[in-house]
Amino acid sequence: MLASPDPGFGLYLHWPFCQSKCPYCDFNSHVATKIDQRRWRDAYLAEIERAGRETGDRILQSVFLGGGTPSLMDPDLVAAIIEKVRATWPMSNDPEITIEANPGSVETGRLAAYRDGGVNRVSIGVQALNDTALRQLGRMHTAAEAIRAVEIAQVTFARVNFDLIYARQGQDAQSWKEELTKALSLASGHLSLYQLTIEEGTVFHDRNLRGLLRGLPDEDHSADLFAMTQDITAEAGLPAYEVSNHARPGEESRHNLTYWRGGDYVGIGPGAHGRLTFEHARYTTECPKEPLFWLQSVESGRSGELPRQRLSAADQASEYVLMGLRLHDGIWLDRLQPEQRGMLNSSKALDLVDQGLIVLDERRLRATKAGIPVLNHILRTLLSD
């Protein structure tokens, strides 16, 4: 029987600072006018060393520098982090090392220095390709600056991704089709296309509660935009390999595949999450969100004392199903222990097969094209008693 692919082992490092806070953003990001990057460098290097002692000789396959806006990090800091990572873990022959960047001139000007420091993949937060939408989203760059940033990145790196947000205020099908077509003409190997969601704790959530966020699409219109997105990207040679991520074959984000395939990863930095397995027990890790508190906990040597939670067999199975069904390939059943497979409601799974929402055989379970838009329903059904 064909076995499941290796989910890999990765490192996520969180840089919590931004120049401004976007109104839709619920990530752990903070605006700061002055940052002592040497102090942060020392903390990151210390945490990499501590995590390396804990995880032993596992082969590291990916590093992701996320945020926040990690392209505000000095190139020397990024190079020092990558050098420390390489000295701490054995690495695969071709590790994927990604940094997130914004299209601003300061960040774009640093791309070559990041490449020279060891970064080999960049992900750019374009978010929209027209200026009106960028203003609505609270972005500080123009569409022309975004296009220029992508073009510079493509000259600098062999692997480039950029993000777009759709299902925005007042966005009809034709305008999104035109914008997506333009994005595909600009894209190289990977596109991340996210529907706008209104998250609690954001400026957009507050505006929406007060009736000030007009023109948001209803559920049916959002579904139509999603379906159109899948068709257009597939026809252009960048099909969805995950609900919101599209790539040419071989250009998928290896780091994010580790998350979706249930692999282990170290989380370093304010608010960073991790998943680590020791002696067949899997644990969740979560760093403190507040940047100064995290920094002080590292400097005082207390970071290794932070609590972690052991996942039960049921929680592990639920998490694997929740994450894995987002993938076009679905979940590989050999990753589940027999008792975990028994947690899936087999009779209701057959009902979902009859409804054309999932495909199930002795190796894999995956959502169909009709099932992907109703994943929440599928997940509730599969994991019900």
DSSP 221: H
CATH 1.20.1290.10 fits 313-382, yes or no: no
Residue ranges of alpha helices (H) inside 99-216 are 105-108, 111-116, 131-136, 143-156, 173-186, 203-209
Q: What residues does each domain of the chain span?
A: 9-259, 313-382
Residue 3, pLDDT score: 64
Write the pLDDT tens digit of every residue in 261-317.
Answer: 999 999 999 999 999 999 889 999 999 999 999 999 999 988 877 778 999 999 999
Q: Measured between alpha carbons, how far is residue 234 from residues 178, 193, 237, 367 in Å?
A: 16, 13, 5, 17
Tell me the β-bridge partners of 159. 121
Instruction: Provide mean pLDDT across the span 9-38.
Output: 91
SS3 state of residue 171: coil
Look up residue 202 and give its two tokens: 């954001």
Rounded CA-CA distance 203/216 in Å is 15
1, pLDDT greater than 60: no
CATH of domain 9-259: 3.80.30.20
Which of the listed ranges 5-9, 231-235, 340-344 does the model predict with the highest average pLDDT? 231-235
Predicted TM-score of the model (pTM)? 0.95
138, pLDDT greater than 80: yes
Percent of the chain having pLDDT more than 90?
81
CB atoms within 10 A of CB 263: 19
Say whether 313-382 and 9-259 share the same fold.
no
Rounded CA-CA distance 99/81 in Å is 12
Residue 106, pLDDT score: 67
DSSP 78: H
Which single residue is written with the structure tokens 């998250």?
Answer: 199
Average pLDDT over the chain, rounded to an integer: 93
99, pLDDT greater than 60: yes
- Identity at 144, one-letter amino acid code: A
SS3 state of residue 124: strand
Rounded CA-CA distance 116/174 in Å is 41
Q: Residue 358 — very low, low, confident or very high, per pLDDT cuts 50/70/90?
A: very high
Residue 2, pLDDT score: 55
Write the pLDDT tens digit of every residue in 158-189.
Answer: 999 999 999 999 999 999 999 999 999 999 99
Instruction: Provide mean pLDDT across the span 14-28.
Output: 90
SS3 state of residue 137: coil
